[in-house]
Structure 1
């Protein structure tokens, strides 16, 4: 029993000693969220007397499912992960310029080489990045979901447009109309029974919940077309460059390609027919058959009406 107690105490002491060794290696960085596009500096710290030449940074790659070493000797990896490793006054730094969500981590500091007896690893460090990227507008209940700068809607119908932004947190959305005090606190704009009074420019605004200064906007202009023959005229006058490419240019190019391909096929077929050998009718009249039903003939200078072989 005493032996087991001593063994347990010894194991506990060794565990604490091992934890103490790893606890001496730490990685420091910003303790607050940083905005996308800012510069971030991480530092590797050790309690031992060292010039930090035996330590380096690592980043976990979710694609390769492993830790990737980042140091000044591996230029390709430093370029791929967009980091800059430097040692200044016996201190180890890693600088990330124009930080993005991809560079948030996690990172860690590890020992390398043979100067230390034990392999040391710091705790993982992940950078909290705040970002709000471009807004996308999508039209609901339509075969073409993308929203152009000008949207034509038939009078009396319903328009539904959803606003979406790629953000680190769910943004706060609101819709507004230009030159109007009307505001809709929602990500979806729904206008029922559309009429000429609804025409105008509609703006979707997305705001980051933790950083109100981070704002993105996207807008479109609503135009109403009356029912009847005016429908075609209004639709044609409202076509912009993407619509022209989609509805006119691309079908015209495909049709021209099809007609040209058929023309080439017909031309090649005609040339092949012209290359076949032709039978001279004059030579055929100068020859008479040797026997009935024979395809071979000999030259004849007299008018013999009796075949040689029956």
Structure 2
């Protein structure tokens, strides 16, 4: 029985050998965390091709919904300017410089050599790109939400500043105040009924969820001024009214005045140009060739003259 089973296995192997080989093709990539801006090297290897001349790298495009080949001289070089494919020493390598999140993959290695009956495709390879970008501060319930290096508020006001950062995963946020042990482990800083003691430097720190070494910070200075008896309307101070209503109105008025002055000057230039009187044009009667006066004729002359 064992002899029959061995004979069967040998026969199956011979059939596969007659119809072509099925090599072991794989992509070897980084096994460490990849940060945005790092350099990444991928290698395509095969158990049957020593120089890898019949293999190529491919990347899947979600936008085009298909796989396309990556090469040094063809296909989307404007998009993949930081990519280089090389074949040196029998190795097929792809170098990605200053990698971005959208270049994480998937990638695969493909061969369509005539030595194999079917197209040989490796398993897909995708690496994770960790990133945490700049922090943005925004003030809630304000006509001007962006927060600059300092923020002026009146005593008794409420302040609500939201801290946000772009990352591959939702980061952790923490607020702190300079020269103080106070901290707030939320993304939004909330201060109610502020007074002079609330003034100072506030810093929002964002920590990556899986990579604590990736940290971003943003600082602004809170300045508290005495509450003035200035005119306010609908919760807006006099400064807000000047900034959001008076300034645009004055700018529009200046634009209209400039346009009116331009039109008046243009009309004056038109009036100064010499004009031909209608009376003078009536005196210029058409005559025929060889005649000093106009004559009546039933036939038309194609070349009238004007005196």
Q: How high is the TM-score relative to the length of structure 2? A: 0.73
> More deviation in 166-175 or 262-271?
262-271
- The whole-number CA distance in structure 2 between the counterparts of 1:203 and 1:55 is 52
Counterparts of 1:125-204 in structure 2, within 5 Å, are 125-204=125-204
Change (3 A) 1:152 1:227: same
- For residues 245-299 of structure 1, give each alpha carbon's deviation from its aligned partner in whole angstroms, at most 9, with x where no partner exists: 99999887665444322211121233344558698xxxxxxxxxxxxxxxxxxxx
- The whole-number CA distance in structure 1 between the counterparts of 2:182 and 2:22 is 60
- The whole-number CA distance in structure 1 between the counterparts of 2:129 and 2:195 is 44
Matching residue within 266, 269, 273 for 1:268: 266
SS in 2 for 1:58: strand
The total of aligned residue pairs comes to 255
Asked if the contact 2:207/2:215 (under 8 Å) is kept, the reply is: yes
- For residues 84-138 of structure 1, give each alpha carbon's deviation from its aligned partner in whole angstroms, at most 9, with x where no partner exists: 1011211101111121112111111111454544211111111111111111111
SS in 2 for 1:136: strand
Decide which structure has greater helix share.
1
Query: Structure 2: where are the runs of 5+ without partners?
Result: 1-11, 278-307
Counterparts of 1:246-261 in structure 2, within 5 Å, are 256-261=254-259
- For residues 192-234 of structure 1, give each alpha carbon's deviation from its aligned partner in whole angstroms, at most 9, with x where no partner exists: 00111111111000011222111000111111222225799x9
- For residues 1-56 of structure 1, give each alpha carbon's deviation from its aligned partner in whole angstroms, at most 9, with x where no partner exists: xxxxxxxxxxxx89xx7xx9667111111233211121111111112133101111
Asked if the contact 1:21/1:120 (under 8 Å) is kept, the reply is: no
1:77 aligned to 2:84? no
In angstroms, what is the RMSD of aligned CA positions? 3.3
- The whole-number CA distance in structure 1 between the counterparts of 2:246 and 2:22 is 68
Asked if the contact 1:44/1:92 (under 8 Å) is kept, the reply is: yes
- The whole-number CA distance in structure 1 between the counterparts of 2:48 and 2:244 is 67
Displacement after TM superposition at 1:73 (Å): 3.2
SS in 2 for 1:52: coil
Provide the residue aligned with 1:208 in structure 2.
208
1:40 aligned to 2:23? no
Asked if the contact 1:54/1:115 (under 8 Å) is kept, the reply is: no
- The whole-number CA distance in structure 2 between the counterparts of 1:198 and 1:254 is 40
